[in-house]
Every structure is written in structure tokens, then in C-alpha cells.
Amino acid sequence: MEEAFKDVPVIAGTMTWGVWGRNLDTSGMEGLMHHCLEAGIHTFDHADIYGGYTTEAAFGKAFASSGIRREDIRLISKCGIQYVCDARPVGIKHYQYDADYIVWSAERSLSGLQTEYLDLLLLHRPSPLMEPREVAAAFDKLKTSGKVRRFGVSNFTPSQIRLIETAVPVEAHQFECSLSARGPLTDGTLDDCLIGGREAMAWSPLGNFFREQGPEQERLAACMQSLKPKYGADESQLLLAWLMGHPAGIRPVVGTTRPERLTDAVAAADIRLEREDWFALLVAAQGHKVP
């Protein structure tokens, strides 16, 4: 079914909406949802573990009272991490991907988010005990019942994706990627997205630029001095534009809860960096010219 809206590339990451971050109340979450839609952001990224398994329910409560139509938003969630916290009687963090658990976890996310379906369900992190047939059985049951529309993975290697695809297609991949985390450019991750036609999503898309001082940050800041007036953009917008300039069509998962920063992130999607400027940022980040 065709979506009723045109989604911008930017995805709203909800990890810090709850107790792991700003701890927004219901009214605050409602207001941020509406701001996202007004800015053009319709996709919201969740994971069952966020907030120690509490953020999806907090978001769902706000969504239920927001007046927003379900068909006007896109919901992503992730499952598979058994996280040590008050909500789970587990002794050690581990991963679980048997069919019954995947189905149970997805249904729990649906209940928390107060929705009848997820647009996309991701396996959160790879497990050495993954059995592709178990994953396929869960995906088949969830898709047949209409509870999940599309399936993907998060933080997998290309070979781990090939393993899962021996039993079921992988339609999307979410991974860390930025000018600070450049591995996906050369480790096959982005090649795999292009080859497989997978939706590519990047978490922590601004990297360490605003979090860590050091030579890399200094080089990037110096490089951006001439680019900021050239493109009428600030540092965060240039970092996002660099990421979105890749041919894989990377969608940044932006974790801020500040409305103005979300608006700025959307504006970054319209920036088209010239090829030499794209490489200038890459060279500044890595500290040496390309081979």
C-alpha cells in the first residue's frame, strides 16, 4: 500500500525521549511528535530495550492521545537483546532469536506503542547462536498476521546478513555510520546495501564531533569554516549532508529531542555537497589523503 505522505530521509530516534535521556512526559512527547510531522519527519525509530523496556509504552501513551493518524507515521522497532534491568529477570546481557521470542517481543512492542502493526522490525544485534530458520519462521508468522510489514537487521556484518538470507530476505539495515565511524564505507556494509537494495539507516550520524575534542574534531572544524558559508549550513547539517550524499541513500537516525535541531536536520537533506567538498570532509576526518 502506498504511503499517505512523503517521508524525508531523516528518522527521529527515540532512545533519549524516555528515562534514558530527557524523560519527556506525555505532553512533551506529543508535542515532539507533532513537531516532527510538521517538519516532514514521519519515521520514528524504537527498540524494545530503550528506557529499560519502558520508552515504547511511554511513546504509545502519547501517540494514543496525540490525534495523529497511524497511517501518517512509520514505526520501526528492534528486538533480540535481553537486557539486564528491573523489567527482565536475566542474569547477563545476551541475545535471543528463537521464533517464539521474536514473535513475543514484536507483540509486546505493538502493545506498548499502541499500534496494530510495525512498519519495520529489526534484529537489534547479531548473535552467534542465530538460526536462520527460526528467524524466518518468526518473520513469516508476523507478516502473515499483518503485525509486521517489513524486516531487517541492525549492526550486522555482510556475512551475517547472508546467513539470515539463506532463509528470509533482509530488507533494511541500521548501523553506526558517520565521519567518525567510517567503517561502513570500506567493510562492505554500504556495498551490501546497494547490492541488496536494502534501506540503509545510520545511528549516531553526527559521530563524535560535538562530544569529543581532539585532532579529528579540530581538522573537521577547520575544513567546515569555508563550507558553512558556501552551503549556508552549520556543522551538524554538513555532517548529515556528507552522510546523505552517499549513493546508498543513507537515512540518518537523529536522536535529538530539541525541535530546532530536528528542523535543521531536515534542511540538511536539501544540501548537495560538491564531490571535492565531500572528499575534503572525509580527508579531514581521517587525517590523510585517500589512497
**Residue 141 belongs to a domain:** yes
Question: What's 174's domain CATH number?
Answer: 3.20.20.100
**Residue 254 belongs to a domain:** yes
pLDDT attached to residue 6: 75
- Name the residue with cell 530458520: 133
Contacts of 180 (CB under 8 A, 6+ apart): 204, 207, 208, 209, 216, 285
pLDDT attached to residue 269: 97
Q: Which residue segment(s) compose the domain that 19 sits in?
A: 11-212+235-273
pLDDT attached to residue 229: 98
CB 181 within 8 A of CB 204: yes
pLDDT attached to residue 1: 34
As annotated, the active-site residues are 50
Distance CA 172, CA 201 (A): 8
Distance CA 95, CA 42 (A): 29
Nearest residue to 175 (alpha-carbon basis) of 159, 199, 195: 199
Residues in the chain: 291
pLDDT attached to residue 7: 76
**Residue 227 belongs to a domain:** no
Average pLDDT of adjacent 10-residue blocks, the chain of 291 residues: 69 98 98 97 98 98 98 98 94 98 98 98 98 98 98 98 98 98 98 98 98 96 98 98 98 98 98 98 97 93
Distance CA 161, CA 176 (A): 16
pLDDT attached to residue 4: 56
**Residue 77 belongs to a domain:** yes
**Residue 153 belongs to a domain:** yes
Tell me which H or E stretch contains 252. strand 251-254
**Residue 221 belongs to a domain:** no
**Residue 187 belongs to a domain:** yes
pLDDT attached to residue 2: 42
The pairing of beta strand 81-82 with beta strand 11-13: unpaired
**Residue 199 belongs to a domain:** yes
Structural domain tally of the chain? 1
